[in-house]
């Protein structure tokens, strides 16, 4: 599924909680560590949310899934409200 970032998030933290997180599900780390697929540049990390969960970040930006996307490849959240944008992977170094 398409991953999104929000321009309202400060670097390394999420501003999306409560009602926002019902529509824009934070990509959470359940256990272990997050790794990038081969051939994708950039870096994955985590940010601790106010509820204590660890949200996965890409180059410091928290990642989200949009509930309006139904099948892989959907990008219905792209540009929504002028703040939500599909995460663009960087080329490998």
Are 8 and 83 in contact by the 8 Å Cβ rule? The answer is yes
For residue 48, the cross-strand partners are 54
pLDDT of amino acid 46? 92
| CB count in 10 Å sphere of residue 4 | 25
Q: Determine the pLDDT at residue 75.
A: 96
Distance, CA of 21 to chain centre: 11
pLDDT in tens, the chain (93 residues): 999 999 999 988 999 999 999 999 999 998 777 888 888 888 999 999 999 999 999 999 999 999 999 999 999 999 999 999 999 988 877
Number of Cβ within a 10 Å radius of residue 60: 15
pLDDT of residue 74: 96
- The predicted pLDDT at position 59 comes to 93
**Structure token digits, residue 12:** 């390394």
């Amino acid at each position: 599924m398409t991953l999104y970032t929000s321009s309202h998030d400060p670097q390394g933290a999420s501003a999306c909680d409560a009602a926002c997180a019902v529509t824009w599900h934070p990509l959470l780390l359940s256990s272990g560590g997050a790794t990038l697929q081969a051939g994708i540049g950039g870096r994955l990390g985590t940010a601790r949310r106010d509820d204590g969960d660890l949200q996965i970040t890409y180059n410091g930006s928290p990642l989200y899934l949009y509930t309006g996307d139904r099948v892989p490849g959907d990008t219905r959240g792209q540009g929504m409200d002028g703040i939500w944008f599909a995460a663009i992977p960087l080329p490998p170094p």
